[in-house]
């Protein structure tokens, strides 16, 4: 049985009331998301609040807003934020991202979205909501992000590798295009597990970004099943040990 909490160097994430526990995907999203010059950040579907907390730690002064639709997860995220060193810079909205009227725009929108669209649904309703995109799908994410981002803003998501072409097609329908892509592998010889993508929206201000996207590869472990130096460096500010 997993612990009720996950201890990081500068904060603790309690997640016993959240359908989705602290995991590698969330840590990768929190560590890979570009935050340079970001003053207003939005974490969509925050769950336990992990990504929002990581971005607050990294950004030093940005205002981080997190939104969560699930009652228990929203309560737990709010408690995690209140207990953190950045409680004055993180706010929790308990509501539906699709319908909530935000009072401001954002430099950055990030999400570790639900993704098991076609899989057999879990009988646990809370876990189903977190794992399936019935309440938040890619179309809705990009549609709302187009409205909420400043012209120079970006939208970042971590997705299963097999969904990349579909998600890029959906993003393009809303004039979002990949600016940077990180392909994530468990270890050499394995298939790509996840893809972290940073999108910019071309119809708002295409002059800010080059037409060619930057691509990189990240291996979590080496051939000897030891964590790679790259992954250690990426997560060194967060994990107590790795």
User: Does residue 148 contact residue 106 with C-beta atoms inside 8 Å?
Assistant: yes
User: For 5-235, which CATH superfamily applies?
Assistant: Vaccinia Virus protein VP39 (3.40.50.150)
Give the β-pairing of 106-111 and 149-160.
Answer: parallel
Q: What is the pLDDT of residue 203?
A: 67
> Which of 175, 184, 167, 168 lies closest to 221 in space, CA to CA?
184
Q: What is the pLDDT of residue 202?
A: 78
Q: What is the pLDDT of residue 204?
A: 60
- pLDDT at 1 > cutoff 60: no
215, two tokens: 């691509």
For 88-107, how does the pLDDT look when each residue is reduced to its tens digit (9 = 90+)? 999 999 999 999 999 999 99
Strands in 95-175 per DSSP E: 106-111, 149-160
For 43-82, how does the pLDDT look when each residue is reduced to its tens digit (9 = 90+)? 999 999 999 999 999 998 999 999 999 999 999 999 999 9
For the chain, domain boundaries: 5-235
Q: What is the pLDDT of residue 211?
A: 62
CA 26-121-76 angle, 5° bins = 40
User: How does DSSP assign 159-176, residue by residue?
Assistant: EEGGGHHHHHHHHHHTTE
């Amino acid at each position: 049985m997993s612990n009720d909490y996950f201890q990081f160097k500068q904060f603790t994430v309690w997640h016993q009331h959240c359908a989705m526990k602290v995991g590698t995907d969330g840590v990768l999203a929190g560590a890979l998301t570009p935050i340079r010059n970001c003053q207003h950040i939005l974490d969509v579907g925050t769950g336990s609040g992990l990504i929002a907390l990581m971005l607050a730690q990294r950004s030093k002064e940005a205002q981080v807003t997190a939104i969560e639709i699930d009652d228990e997860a929203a309560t737990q995220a709010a408690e995690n934020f209140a207990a953190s060193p950045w409680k004055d810079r993180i706010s929790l909205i308990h509501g539906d991202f699709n319908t909530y009227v935000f009072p401001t725009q954002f430099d950055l929108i990030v999400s570790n979205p639900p993704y098991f669209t076609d899989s057999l649904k879990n009988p646990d309703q809370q876990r189903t909501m977190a794992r399936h995109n019935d309440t938040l799908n890619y179309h809705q994410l990009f549609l709302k992000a187009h409205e909420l981002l400043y012209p120079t803003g970006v939208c970042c998501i971590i997705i299963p590798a097999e969904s990349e072409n579909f998600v890029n097609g959906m993003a393009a329908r809303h004039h979002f295009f990949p600016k940077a892509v990180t392909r994530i592998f468990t270890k050499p010889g394995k298939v790509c597990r996840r893809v972290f993508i940073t999108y910019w929206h071309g119809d708002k201000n295409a002059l800010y970004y080059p037409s060619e996207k930057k691509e990189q590869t990240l291996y979590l472990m080496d051939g000897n099943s030891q964590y790679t130096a790259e992954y250690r460096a990426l997560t060194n500010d967060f994990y107590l040990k790795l």
